[in-house]
Structure 1
C-alpha cells in the first residue's frame, strides 16, 4: 500500500510540475532577451528568474503544451514611467525563438528608430501584435500582412514608419483590427484592403497618404470604425458608397482634400455615433441625413463651407455630446436657452451668428463662440456651470461688465476683442484653477485687483489694449507658473518691481506703450526662460542692465529670441537663430558675443558715449540703427568689417570727424544715413557709395566732395557743400517732398513733349518747327515750376 501511495504522489508531482514548466529553450531565450535590455523602473522584468518561466510575470503559457503563448511587455508613461530601453540592433532576436507565441505586446517602449526585424516572420502562430508608441521606423515589412494567417489584431500607431502600406494578402481572413495611424506613410491606400472581409476597425489617420478612397472599402461589411483623417486624400467621395456597411458606427475622413457628396434625399442604412468631416468641401446647408442619426454623440463639421442656419432639431438631439461647426458660414441666432441639451462641448467659432448668448446645461465643459457677431451682455449664469473649463467669447460685440463668477472656476477664459467695460472683477475665490485669462482689447479701466495671489495655476495673463491705470499688483509675485504677462497699451504706471525676477516660468513679458518709469530692474536678467521682452514706449531712464547677457533663453540654441527695449531707454531687437553667450561683462560686450544677431535697433533713446569699435565683430548683422541718440566721437573704422550689412543709420547724433573710407567695403549696403551729425571732411569718392538706394549726408558741419557720376534715388546733401558739387538739388528739410514734385514735373514734361512729337509727324515742316518751339517753352516752364 505504501508503494501505491508513493507512486500516486510521485505521479501527481510530476504531472503538476510538467504542466507548469516551460521548455529550457524558451526560458533561455527569455533570459537572453532580459540580459540585453535595460529595465529602469525594475517593474517589467524583475520576476524573470528561477527555473519555470511560466511563473514569471507578463508571461502566459499554454495549459497543455506548456509553450509560451503570451508576452505582455507593455510600458507606460506618466508619473511612474515604466518602459524598456537599449532596444537596438538584434535585441528582439531571442524572442523570435518563441515560435508558439500568439500574443506579443511591446508597446510604449523605446526602440530608438530600429526597423521591424525580419525574424518576426517566424512567429507563424501570432494572433495579436501591438508595437504602438514604441519608436520603430523604416518601412512596414510586407510579411506583416502576408505571413500570419491567424492574425486578428495589428496596432502600429505612433511610430515613425514610412513608405507605402503593404498590400494585404487574401489569407488574412481573421484580421479584425488594423491600426497604422500617426506615422509617415505615403502613397495610395491599396485597393486590396477590401479583401480584409473580417475587418471591424480600420485606422490609417495622421499619415501622408494620397489618392482617392478605394471604393471597395464598401466590401468590408463588418466594419464599424473607419478613420482616414489628417492625410492628403483627394477627389470626390460620396458617403452613400458606405451604405453596405450596416455595422458602421464611426466615420472620420476629416482634414483631407476631399469633396464630400451627400444627396439631400439619402437615408443611410447604418446608425452613426461619430461623424468627422472637418475640412472636407461640402458646400451647401447642414446635411439633412443627420436628422435620422438618433444615436450620434459626436459631430465634427468644421471648415466645410456650410452655410444657412443651424437646424433647430440639432439642439434637441438626445445623445449629442460634442458638436463642432466652427469655421463655416452659418448665420442666424442661437436659441434663447439650451438648458435641455446634453452638450459637453460646443464649438461654433468663426461663423456669422448673431443675437445673444443662450443659457446652457450644467454639464457643459467647453464653449467657444469666438469670431461671430454676438452682442448683448454675458449671462452671469455662465460662470456658475460647475463643469465648464474652457470659455472663449473673443472677437464679438459683447458689452457690459464681466460677471465676477466667470473668473472663479473656469480654467481658460478668453473675452478679448469685445466692448466690455468697467473694472476687472475681484472674484477669485476659487481662482487657483485659472490657467489662462485674456481680456485684451476691451474698454476695461481702473486698477488691477490684488487677488492675483490666489491664481496659483495662472500661466497666461493678457490685459493689453484697455484703459487700466494701476501699478503692477504685488500679488502677481505669487503666480509662479506665469509664462506670459502682457499689459501693453494701457495707462499702467510706476516701476517694474524687482520681484518680477522671481517669476521663474516667465517666457514673454510685454509692457509696451504704458507709463512705466524708473530703471529697468536687473532682476529681469535672472529669468531663466525669458524669450520675448518688450518694454518699448514707456518712460524708463538710466542704462540698459549690463548683465543682460545672462538671459538664459539666448543661450538656448533652439530658441529664436527677441528683445525690445525702446522708448526713452533703448531699443534692442535681436532676431537670433543660434547664440552662445559666455560673456559676463558690459552690455556692448554682450552685443559683441551675439555672433548671429541679424538686426539691432537702438534708435530714439538717450544713449550716449562713443560707438564701440567692437560693433564691427558682428559680421552677421544686416541692419544697424542707432539714430536719434547722443553718440559722440568718430565713426569706428571697424564698421567696415560688417560685411553682411544692408542698412546703416547713424543719423541724428553728435558724431564728428571724417567718414571712414572702410564703409566702401560694405558691398551689400543699400541704405546709409549719416545726416544730422557734426561730420566734416570730404565724402569718400566713388566705390560703393554711389550705388545706394538711399544715401543721406544732410545737416553736417562741413561735409562735401561727392561727385555724381551715377544715378541715386533720394540723395540729400549738406547745406555747406558748394552748389557746383551737387547742382540743382535743394538741401532744406523738405528735400524729399520736392524731389517727388521734381519727378512729377519731368514726367509731365516728357509726356507733353512726346504727344507733340507724335502730332507734328503728320504736319508740314513749317508747322512742325513752330510746334517744337512751343514744346521747348512748355518743358522749360515746367522744369522751373516744379523745382521752385
Structure 2
C-alpha cells in the first residue's frame, strides 16, 4: 500500500473512532431507504438544481424520480423523511461522481433543509462566486465540504455559527482569502479541518488560534504560507490531547515547528512536514520520543543534516506502531542503524541523503516491508540473500545511485514479487540476474548503467507486456532488437505492449534495423530513446500508425534516435505528431527537410544536425506557435518543483553540419520563443535576416562556416540575452554594430570575415564603414565543413550549459538520473489530489472561456 493510501486510511479511522457513525473527514451520506421525502424539501432541492449547470446530466434522477430520497446524492432520515445529506461532490472517489463538474449558483433554497447535517459540494466549479453567507444558518450541519469549488472572496465569518460542525474542508480554493481566524475559534466541536492552499501568511499567531479547537483530531494546512512558530509563545498554547493527524507540508516552516508538535499532543498518528525549510544538525527533537502512537511520519525534502541513527532513535517509542517513515531528500549523515524493532514498518524511504556504510541485514527482518528506497546515497557493500530473507511483501525496491554490489546465487528464488525495481548505477551485470527474470508482476524496471553486457536472454522479453517503464540505457548490450518473424515470444513489437510509457535502450551496442514487420500499439508511450546504438536502415513505416494513435490519445512525445546509422529520408508523417523533442542527430538521413516539420507546434528541441540533409530551408517555420508551448510550461512547473530549476517556453533548433543551401528565410527568425539556433557548417548564402534582432529570447546563435554575405544588421546589438554567438568563416562585411552586446564577444566569433571591421576586431573601419588596410586578422574562406576544433567544442559546451534550465534538464534528467526520476514520480504520487484539483479547475475555466 502506498503512503498516500495509508494516510487516507489513518485519516478515516481517526475520525470514525471519535465521531462514530455520525460523520467523518472522509465519510459520505447514509444510504437511502424507502421513505417519502417532504414536499417542501423536494421543491427546495429542485430550486437548488435550477441554479446549476449540469453538462454531464449527473442529476438526471432528480427529474425522472419523484421521490427525492432516491435521488442521486441525497439521503434522508429513516423515520422522519427529512433530507439529511446532500453530497454532489464531483470527486472521482466520492459517493457522487460527475464527469464534468457542476457549475452555477448555490440557491438559498437550501435553507429549507433545516435537518441537513451533511453538505458536500467539493470539486465543482462555482465560477468565482463568494461562499454564501447563508450556509452559516444551516445549524445542524456536521460536515461541510467545499474543497476545490473555485470560490473567491473572504471566508464568511458566519461559518463560525455552525456549532455542531465536526468536519470543515475549504481547501484548494486559491482565490479565497481569510480576514481573520476569530470565527474559526467558535467551532468548538470541530474534529477535522482542512484549509490547504489558503493564505495564512499574516496570521503569526495561528498556533494559538488553532489550539482553542480542543476537540480537533485532524489538521491539514499544506501550501498555506504558514509563519514560523514563536518558541517564546509555546507556553501560551493550550496543549491539545486529541490532535492525531497533522499535515503542514509545502510551507516555509523552520525547525521551531517541531518543538510545537512535541508539545501540542502526544497522540499523533500521522505527521507530514514535507518540503519545508527544516534544518539543523541535531536531528529530530528529543520530544518526539513521547509519540508512542505514531504510524506515519514524513520529513521529505527538508535540509536536516543530523545523524540518521539519532533521528531514528528519537522515534523509538513508536517502534511497534510506525508503518511509514520517510526522511528522504535531506542531508542526514551516518550509517543505517538496526531497524529490527520496527516490526510494523511498511514503507521506508531514506533516499537522497548522505548515508554511508553497508546495508544492515536487519532490513531483511522487516516482514511487513512493502517499499524500500535508499537511492541517491553513498552506501557501499555487498547485497546478499540475507537482506531480503523475510521480505515476502516487498513490492517497490530502489537501491540505485549507491555503490552496492550484488552477490545473489543464480538459482535464488526471491520471496517477493516486485512491481518496481531500480538498481541503476549498481553492479548488477554482466548478465541480467535470474531473480529479476522471475519478477512477473513488474511494471517499472530501471537498470541504467549497471554493467550489463552481452545479449538479452529470451526470457527477458516475457517481462515486457506488463512493463510501463523500462530503462536499460548506458550498458553494453549487443545484438539486434527482437523480431516477431524469428521468435514467438512477447517482444519489442508485441501488440500487448500497450502499457509502456517510457522505453530507453540508448547508449548500448544494439545493431541491425528497427523491426518493420509488426504494428506497435504503445498507446501510452511518451518517451522513446534508442539513441547512441549502431542501428541502421530507415525509420520503419509502422511508426505512422503508432504515433498517430499516440497523437490522438496522449499528446506530448519525445523521440531520440540520435547517434545511430539510420538512413533514408526523414519521414513526412513524423511532422504530424505532437512532439516536444525530436532528436535525429548523428545519423545518415538525406534528402530535404519535410515541410510537415512546420506542424510541430509543441516542439522544444529539434535536432537534425550531423546528417546529409540537403536543399533549402522551409519557409513555414514561423507557423510553429508558442500556444502549444504554453501547455508545456504548465506541466514543466510541476517538474520544476522536483529539480529546482527554471523551465521556460524556449526552443532549441539545431540543423548544423548538413548540406543545406539557399538563403535563411525570414520566417525562421520569426519563430516564437527561440532560444538557441544553429545552422553552422552548411552552404547557406544571402544576408543575415534582420528579424533575428527581434527575437528577444535568443541566447545562442551560430551561423558560422557558411557563405553568408552583407552587413551585420544594427538591430543585432539589442540582443541583450545573447550569450553565445558565432558568425565566423562567412563573407560578412562592414562595421560591426556598436553596442555593449556585440562588442562583448571575443574577436574569434567574427574571424574569417575579411570585410568586417571595428571592435572587438583590430581592423579599423574607414569613414564609409569598410575595412582599412589588411588589418591583423588571419584566416581563409576555405570551407572547413565537418571539422571540430577546440573553439567549436567550447562553443557547444557553452550552449549546452546555457540551456540546461530548459527542457533537457527536466526530461533528460528524469530519464537518466534515477534519484530525480524517483523524486518526480514520488512527488506526483504524493500530490495526486492536488493535481486533480488544479486540472479540474483549469479545465472548467477553459470550457467557460470557449463557451463565451
CA contact (8 A) 2:625 2:672 kept: no
Distance across 1 between alignment mates of 2:688 and 2:45: 71
SS of alignment partner, residue 251 of structure 2: coil
Pair 1:276 & 2:326 matched:
yes
CA contact (8 A) 1:172 1:196 kept: no
Alignment map for 1:720-759 (pairs within 5 Å)? 721=773
Distance across 2 between alignment mates of 1:207 and 1:620: 32
Partner of 2:506: 440
Alignment map for 1:452-467 (pairs within 5 Å)? 453-457=519-523, 458-467=525-534
Q: 1:665, CA displacement in angstroms?
A: 5.5
Return 5+ residue gaps in structure 2 as ranges.
Answer: 1-33, 219-243, 484-490, 552-556, 632-648, 781-852
Alignment map for 1:175-214 (pairs within 5 Å)? 175-181=190-196, 186=201, 190=207, 193=210, 196-197=214-215, 199=217, 201-211=244-254, 212-214=257-259
Q: 1:168, CA displacement in angstroms?
A: 9.4
Partner of 1:130: 145
Partner of 1:348: 399
Distance across 2 between alignment mates of 1:173 and 1:163: 19
SS of alignment partner, residue 761 of structure 2: strand
Pair 1:382 & 2:436 matched:
yes
CA contact (8 A) 1:609 1:630 kept: yes
Alignment map for 1:405-420 (pairs within 5 Å)? 405-407=459-461, 408-409=464-465, 410-420=467-477
Query: Residues 642 and 141 from structure 1, CA distance in 2 versus in 1: closer, same or farther, beyond 3 angstroms?
Result: same
Of residues 260-269 and 407-416 in structure 1, the stretch that sits farther from structure 2 once superposed is: 260-269
- Corresponding residue pairs, total: 661
Distance across 1 between alignment mates of 2:301 and 2:48: 42
Q: 1:345, CA displacement in angstroms?
A: 0.9
Return 5+ residue gaps in structure 1 as ranges.
Answer: 1-17, 573-585, 684-688, 698-702, 709-716, 734-788
Query: Residues 425 and 606 from structure 1, CA distance in 2 versus in 1: closer, same or farther, beyond 3 angstroms?
Result: same
Partner of 2:38: 22
CA contact (8 A) 1:501 1:526 kept: yes
Distance across 1 between alignment mates of 2:297 and 2:451: 36
Which of residues 708, 714, 729 is equivalent to 1:640? 714
Which of residues 306, 309, 315 is equivalent to 2:358? 309
Query: Residues 152 and 405 from structure 1, CA distance in 2 versus in 1: closer, same or farther, beyond 3 angstroms?
Result: farther
Q: 1:178, CA displacement in angstroms?
A: 3.3
Query: Residues 696 and 389 from structure 1, CA distance in 2 versus in 1: closer, same or farther, beyond 3 angstroms?
Result: farther
Pair 1:562 & 2:562 matched:
no
Q: TM-score scaled to structure 1, two decimals?
A: 0.72
Distance across 2 between alignment mates of 1:92 and 1:136: 15
SS of alignment partner, residue 213 of structure 1: helix
Q: 1:544, CA displacement in angstroms?
A: 1.9
Q: 1:390, CA displacement in angstroms?
A: 0.2
Which of residues 225, 230, 233 is equivalent to 2:275? 230
Distance across 2 between alignment mates of 1:731 and 1:228: 64
Pair 1:492 & 2:566 matched:
yes
Distance across 2 between alignment mates of 1:627 and 1:607: 10
CA contact (8 A) 2:652 2:674 kept: no
CA contact (8 A) 2:394 2:416 kept: no
Pair 1:540 & 2:540 matched:
no
Alignment map for 1:595-744 (pairs within 5 Å)? 597=674, 600-611=677-688, 625-632=702-709, 634-635=710-711, 639-645=713-719, 650-654=727-731, 659=734, 664=737, 666=739, 668-670=741-743, 671=745, 675-677=751-753, 679=755, 689=758, 692=759, 694-695=760-761, 705=766, 721=773
Query: Residues 298 and 111 from structure 1, CA distance in 2 versus in 1: closer, same or farther, beyond 3 angstroms?
Result: farther
| Cα displacement string for residues 2-21 of structure 1 (whole angstroms, at most 9, x for unaligned residues) | xxxxxxxxxxxxxxxx9844
Query: Residues 560 and 273 from structure 1, CA distance in 2 versus in 1: closer, same or farther, beyond 3 angstroms?
Result: same
| Cα displacement string for residues 425-470 of structure 1 (whole angstroms, at most 9, x for unaligned residues) | 4433443433321122233334333466335333322122233344
Pair 1:153 & 2:167 matched:
yes
| Cα displacement string for residues 77-118 of structure 1 (whole angstroms, at most 9, x for unaligned residues) | 599843544346xx3544355443211111221234555444
| Cα displacement string for residues 291-326 of structure 1 (whole angstroms, at most 9, x for unaligned residues) | 222222222222343332222132242221122222
| Cα displacement string for residues 727-772 of structure 1 (whole angstroms, at most 9, x for unaligned residues) | xx68578xxxxxxxxxxxxxxxxxxxxxxxxxxxxxxxxxxxxxxx
Query: Residues 225 and 92 from structure 1, CA distance in 2 versus in 1: closer, same or farther, beyond 3 angstroms?
Result: farther
Query: Residues 86 and 499 from structure 1, CA distance in 2 versus in 1: closer, same or farther, beyond 3 angstroms?
Result: closer
Q: 1:223, CA displacement in angstroms?
A: 4.2
Q: 1:284, CA displacement in angstroms?
A: 2.6
CA contact (8 A) 2:125 2:149 kept: yes
Of residues 41-50 and 410-419 in structure 1, the stretch that sits farther from structure 2 once superposed is: 41-50
Q: 1:154, CA displacement in angstroms?
A: 3.1
CA contact (8 A) 1:197 1:220 kept: no
Distance across 1 between alignment mates of 2:417 and 2:78: 49
SS of alignment partner, residue 667 of structure 2: helix
Which of residues 598, 601, 624 is equivalent to 1:525? 598
Q: 1:74, CA displacement in angstroms?
A: 1.4
The structure showing larger relative contact order (alpha-carbon pairs under 8 Å, at least 6 residues apart) is: 2
Distance across 2 between alignment mates of 1:393 and 1:55: 55
Query: Residues 505 and 68 from structure 1, CA distance in 2 versus in 1: closer, same or farther, beyond 3 angstroms?
Result: same
CA contact (8 A) 2:46 2:62 kept: no
Query: Residues 461 and 248 from structure 1, CA distance in 2 versus in 1: closer, same or farther, beyond 3 angstroms?
Result: same
Q: 1:615, CA displacement in angstroms?
A: 6.1
CA contact (8 A) 1:99 1:123 kept: yes
SS of alignment partner, residue 509 of structure 1: strand
CA contact (8 A) 1:39 1:85 kept: yes
Partner of 1:747: none
Distance across 1 between alignment mates of 2:679 and 2:403: 44
CA contact (8 A) 2:448 2:474 kept: yes
Partner of 2:125: 110
Distance across 2 between alignment mates of 1:80 and 1:170: 33
Query: Residues 590 and 400 from structure 1, CA distance in 2 versus in 1: closer, same or farther, beyond 3 angstroms?
Result: same
Alignment map for 1:215-364 (pairs within 5 Å)? 215=260, 220=265, 223-233=268-278, 238=284, 241-258=287-304, 261-262=310-311, 264=313, 267-269=316-318, 270-288=320-338, 290-336=339-385, 338=388, 341=391, 342-355=393-406, 360-361=414-415, 363-364=417-418
CA contact (8 A) 2:622 2:672 kept: no
CA contact (8 A) 1:397 1:418 kept: yes
Partner of 1:575: none
Query: Residues 432 and 23 from structure 1, CA distance in 2 versus in 1: closer, same or farther, beyond 3 angstroms?
Result: closer
Q: 1:536, CA displacement in angstroms?
A: 0.5
Of residues 335-344 and 319-328 in structure 1, the stretch that sits farther from structure 2 once superposed is: 335-344
CA contact (8 A) 2:453 2:477 kept: yes
| Cα displacement string for residues 92-147 of structure 1 (whole angstroms, at most 9, x for unaligned residues) | 54435544321111122123455544433323322122223433456666775x54
Larger Rg: 1
RMSD: 4.2
Alignment map for 1:34-45 (pairs within 5 Å)? 34-44=49-59
CA contact (8 A) 2:652 2:677 kept: no
Distance across 2 between alignment mates of 1:165 and 1:402: 65
CA contact (8 A) 2:90 2:102 kept: no
Distance across 2 between alignment mates of 1:140 and 1:239: 36
CA contact (8 A) 2:658 2:682 kept: yes
| Cα displacement string for residues 325-380 of structure 1 (whole angstroms, at most 9, x for unaligned residues) | 22223221222484852211112222222235786456310111223444432125
CA contact (8 A) 2:666 2:689 kept: no
Distance across 1 between alignment mates of 2:374 and 2:408: 16
